[in-house]
Structure 1
Amino acid sequence: MDTAYNYPRFSHEYYDFAEFPGPKPGETIPDIAVTDLTGQPVRLSDFRGQPVVLETGSVTCPIYVQEIRPMNRLAREYPDVKFLTLYVREAHPGEELHEHKDIEDKRRCAGMVAEKDGEKRQILVDDLDGNAHQKLGGFPNMVYVINAEGTVIFRGNWNHPDKVEEILKSGDFANVRHRDLYGPDFPTPYTMYRVLARGGRLAFWDLAKSIPRLLKNHKVVEQQGRRQEETHRPQPATEARAG
């Protein structure tokens, strides 16, 4: 098991929010190999032929938990789109809910998001070394919108259900969206408290220590995202000169 990936305590140093590796919009999504909650093997190519919305999360990630309800709503409203949740490492482990010791422990934690948070989407479970997670970029709550051919048409370092809904409403699964860097939608105090409490006191302490650096990093990332928008914003057509 990769203990550097499967960290026992959260720190901002595990994430470089200024870089978003993994497949870019316009590229083919990797055919990641994972399992379902029962341990049966699943490949992302199993869903080829229909659009897919793939989100990453864990039961100790307040930002992911906050987005479960709106994402479940989208899954109900767009039944022709396959909605998947990829369970990754614990975002905020502690003395109560620790890092995953084995794959059975990880599947048990993955099942908790259905039990505690009402997750209705199909849950896939990454391996202990996070091979699928790292291929996709390694952020705790990423989202990918993938067309039926397996091409990424949108991705976000943080999931924003409203951005996903814009694409689903348009029905446009051909054109790629160039902006992929966003600051997170910060959870409500209630969601933050109840999710961090799953990890325990250490989860609160570790996040508190990292907040100043995290806020600075998120501000930088949001500025980079706005520059992406400016770079790819369509330019008005120039009027042909009479000659």
Structure 2
Amino acid sequence: MTYNYGNFDATDYDLVNFRSPQPGQKAPDFTIEVADGGGRARLLDFEGDFLVLEMGSVTCPLFQGRRQTMTGLDEQHSDISFAVLYVREAHPGANIPAHVVQDDKSACAAGLIADGENRRVFVDDIEGTVHTAYGGYPNSVFIINRNGCIVYAVDWNNPTVTRRALDLLKAGKPAALRAWFKPVPPQVSLRVLGAGGKGSMSDFLRGLPHLIWNNLIRRNVRLLLGRKTGVAPNIKC
């Protein structure tokens, strides 16, 4: 599969196995581009007690539908650093197509900032090196401590649970939480996919049964039956 696929297909993602670094493991670090002329910086060079790193793109309804809540979290936690890693377009279309060169990706990330994104936005390279190292999902979230260790990781961001994870970690407790998959309201998907242009909506609808089965049903049942464990907030790895 080409990393920057031109047409979304649910089988582009392994929705059963989230192959990413897990809590207690070292977070991959890279020197990458900072959006909108910010130069280059190390991903894990942050000032807060923790870094909340979220994957996203402008054509991802889940990411777009959670931005307001995540921005609110950023504003509430002045002692925590927040960042977005701009990845491939989740649902490319005629208006916002797949990235062909790095400038395409940088322009989309700059557009995210122009749309009011206040968190620091990192721009992955065109091959998706950083994204792949973090599991390759469109809207996953990782919380990383000052030792560069992952202390919370989830394949699909659930902002309510992310908020609880931060509260626990700041209180010195492990974030052993279940993060249920929650879709965004239909109007959010319609707006985001409509902005993507021709192909964005139709590709999404074609893959929707697969997404519902694997994310909303199969994943949540597996989560219900499984046991969730956490690691100490100050763990060294």
The TM-score with structure 2 as length reference comes to 0.89
Name 2:3's counterpart in structure 1. Answer: 5
Aligned-partner Cα distance in 1 for 2:173–2:26: 13
Name 1:66's counterpart in structure 2. 65
Aligned residue runs from structure 1 range 154-193, under 5 A:
154-170=152-168, 171-172=170-171, 175=174, 177=176, 179=178, 182-183=180-181, 185-193=182-190
Residue identity matched to 2:211: L
Corresponding residue for residue 209 of structure 1: 206
2:197 aligned partner: 200
CA distance in 2, matches of 1:44, 1:68: 20
1:224 maps to what in 2? 222
Q: Deviations over 1:104-148 (max 9, x none)?
A: 1111101222223x2110100000000000000000000001111
Does 1:110 pair with 2:109?
Answer: yes
The aligned residue for residue 134 of structure 1 is: 132
The Cα offsets for residues 128-180 of structure 1, whole Å up to 9 and x where unpaired, read as 0000000000000000011111111111111111111112223145635375x
- Whether the 8 Å CA contact 1:167–1:173 is kept in 2: the answer is no
Give the alignment of 1:93-108 within 5 angstroms. 93-108=92-107
Report the 3-state secondary structure (helix = DSSP H, G, I; strand = E; otherwise coil) of the residue aligned with 1:154.
strand
Whether the 8 Å CA contact 1:53–1:145 is kept in 2: the answer is yes
Structure 1 residue matching 2:201: 3-state secondary structure: helix
Q: Answer whether contact 2:88 2:99 (CA < 8 A) is retained.
A: yes
Larger Cα-atom Rg: 1
Partner Cα separation in structure 2 for residue 215 and residue 112 of structure 1: 30
Deviation per CA, 1:203-235: give whole Å up to 9, x if none: 111011111111111111112222223x659xx
Check the 8 A contact 1:197/1:204 in 2, yes or no. Answer: yes
Give the drift of 1:44.
2.1
Contact 1:25 1:176 in 2 (8 A): no
Paired AA for residue 75 in structure 1: D
TM-score by length of 1: 0.87
CA deviation map 1:60-107 (0-9, x unaligned): 001000111011111011011000000000000011110012111111
Aligned position for 1:84: 83
Point out the more displaced range, 38-47 or 102-111: 38-47
Asked if the contact 1:178–1:228 (Cα under 8 Å) also holds between the matched residues in 2, the reply is no
Are the structure 2 counterparts of residues 210 and 97 from structure 1 closer, same or farther at C-alpha, using a change threshold of 3 Å?
A: same
Separation of aligned partners in 2, 1:96 and 1:81: 35
RMSD in angstroms over aligned alpha carbons?
1.9
What is the identity, as a one-letter code, of the residue corresponding to 1:144? F
Q: Is the deviation greater in 36-45 or in 8-17?
A: 36-45
How many correspondences in the alignment?
227
Matched residue type, 1:11: D
Aligned letter for 2:113? Answer: A
Q: Distance in 2 between matches of 1:120 and 1:56?
A: 15
Q: 1:39 to 1:77 in 2, by over 3 A?
A: closer
